[in-house]
Homo-oligomer: A and B are copies of this chain.
Amino acid sequence: MNATRPANERFYSIIPAGGIGSRLWPLSRAEAPKFLHDLTGSGNSLLRDTWDRLAPISGEQRIMVVTGRAHRAAVEKDLPELADPNVVLESEPKDSSAAIGLAAAILMKREPDVIIGSFAADHVIKDNRSFVRAVREAIAAADAGYIATIGIEPDEPAIGFGYIHCGGEIEIDRAPSAMLVESFVEKPKLATAQQYIASGDYLWNAGMFIARADVLLEQLGQAQPALLAGLLELADAWDTPARGAVVDRVWPELTKIAIDYTVAEPAAAAGRLAVIPGHFSWDDVGDFASIAKLHAGGRKADLAILGGNRRILADDATGVVISQSKRLIALIGVENIVVVDTEDALLVTTTAHAQRVKSVVDALKLGGSSDVL
């Protein structure tokens, strides 16, 4: 390896842009997944915002996007700077171990000493400077041989996120706030979440992983040797004329498994997972309640209006309305309402029932209404 390059110059961003975001139906759907939407009112898609956040860190020539074949055109339109060799297309979704692992393997083949950082395409982050500071520390921790993650300082006992249980501090040069990860915990009940917050030992798991590619893949291979072998075979062929044939043969056989199980949890158990606390506001925008909260700015009496349609008349209404149509929308006396108005489907619910949207999508699937999914 060429260890003479500084860690920051060896850094490469990976954006896995997959996942429909079923809880955001009918806005998000197979043809228009969550990451392609502007859910913040910034005027940019979440993917574009992610790109803009990472470009100053790795440089725009060093961002790789992993997405489905169906989204290639939309992604390339959204990210005209995206270099062709940095587009990795999945023929079918194989979950995050395969998506991130393949990107890491391709990059390692090209640059054996590469440090990769994987960041979801559909999360919202405010305060980019704090984000950059945290990523820089994570890169330093990765350079020191750790698999690093960034845990978000919670501002409330959220029950919609997983948590990271932090252990002792670690001494790492240029990563002064690094701690060991004791364990990952699933979405808790409220009382448990409140205990987490009170203890001060827990951070939200934002699913960001920063590591040397070789370290990440070695860890993955311990849990899933066959998956690693497939990924390395794909990476060997990737920049050669054999790519197509190897993809067709190998990709369909890969095990579908989240990177949490193949890398994050085993690494934590092995004492090689470091966490950098992120002092910035973060949300995975998992449902319409998140969107409403994101836009309320702390004001409970707010109605968030998203989606381009500005012909909305609200009389004593709070919640969120997202309209892609040109119809006039009148809301009267509805609290915490969620109205999502698309060309072929309309959703009316409340922020309290936002999590149930997924079950409707499941019912539509079963009921043969895939035309609107």
Contact = CB atoms under 8 A, between A and B. Distances in A.
Category for how many chain A residues contact B: 35 or more
Interface in A176-202: none
Contact of A333 (B331, B334, B350, B369): B350
A327 interface: yes
A236 B73 CA distance: 74
Contact of A349 (B333, B346, B356): B333
A364 B330 CA distance: 10
Contacts of A359: 315
The prevalent SS among residues of A at the interface is mixed
Interface string A319-346: 0000000111111111001010111111
A361 B311 CA distance: 14
A342 B330 CA distance: 12
A74 interface: no
Given A328-B344, A332-B349, A332-B356, 13 more contacts: A26-B330, A313-B367, A315-B356, A327-B343, A328-B346, A330-B345, A330-B346, A330-B347, A330-B349, A330-B360, A332-B353, A334-B348, A337-B348
A351 to B, nearest CB: 10
A337 to B, nearest CB: 6
A133 to B, nearest CB: 41
A331 B348 contact: yes
B346 A334 contact: no
A286 to B, nearest CB: 16
A313 B363 contact: yes
A336 to B, nearest CB: 10
